[in-house]
Amino acid sequence: MSLQSLIFNAAPFAIIPSAIIAVVLLRNSNITIRILSIHILISSITEFGSTLLWSLKINNIYLLHIYTLEEFALLSWFYATIITGRSWKTFFQVCLISFTILTILNSSLLQPITVNNTYARGLESLLCMIYAIVCFNKLINNSTAMPKFYHTGLLLINSGVLIYFTSSCLLFTLSNYLRRPELADARMMLWTCHAFFSMVYYLLLFFGLWTIWRSKLYTSYSQAQ
């Protein structure tokens, strides 16, 4: 088995550890951890549905259009519970409303649900990169205001978000310019890299949530001012 095949076959299973701990944390956690847990569980269901449809040779691209809206909405909400303040609240609301409108227009007019929504995914990746960079700045500057292991867990989670969406931004931007048939190998290489960074993303989410769960800090509520 080639490295490329190994990555593609392993990628769908990388979400399982984070899904298991998301189930454990879903009920009694604070709002921040609960939002992330819900997102992970929805991601797991979407991944399963996508894999099932693909195995049945049914177009599963429409799931990505729906998932993109859910993912950005919950990640915006997740970061809004960490980064507080009236100006930041307005920022997250403006980003969410604008992204939702643009994504619906994109799926309606430019990239229908039968093709990849690369424009919407690229925009989402850029915004989530901004979220993660701002969050790093807030977490580093407020490290003493949070319990140590809760702070460490959030840093791991945020690292996963930044790594994944940085790679996704590159992928979906370049994929718009690699549509010609003779560039099929280059597209496959991009998707292989995306699958790899997706694995890294979900493993970092798992280790971040596991760190918070092991320290029994998942019911406490800490913010970065």
- Paired with 3 in beta bridges are none
111 touches 118 (CB < 8 A)? yes
pLDDT value of position 137: 92
Cα dist. 18→80, 122, 148, 150 in Å? 21, 24, 21, 17
Q: Among all chains, which residue has been given the structure tokens 């847990």?
A: 37
161 CB-near residues (< 8 Å, 6+ apart): 75, 128, 131, 132, 201
pLDDT value of position 219: 73
pLDDT value of position 35: 96
For the record, the structure tokens of 20 come out as 């298991």
Supply the pTM of this predicted model.
0.90
For the record, the structure tokens of 191 come out as 């998707």
- Residue 183's Cβ-count burial label (10 Å; 0-12, 13-18, 19+) is middle
Of 194, 201, 196, 159, nearest to 174 by C-alpha is 194
pLDDT value of position 222: 56
* Structural domain spans, the chain: 14-214
Distance, CA of 84 to CA of 94 (rounded, Å): 15
The per-residue pLDDT string of the chain (225 residues; one tens digit each, 9 = 90 and over) reads 677 777 767 777 889 999 999 999 998 899 999 999 999 999 999 988 988 888 888 888 899 999 999 999 999 999 999 998 899 999 999 999 999 999 999 999 999 998 888 899 999 999 999 999 999 999 988 767 788 899 999 999 999 999 999 988 887 776 666 566 655 666 677 778 888 999 999 999 999 999 999 988 777 655 555
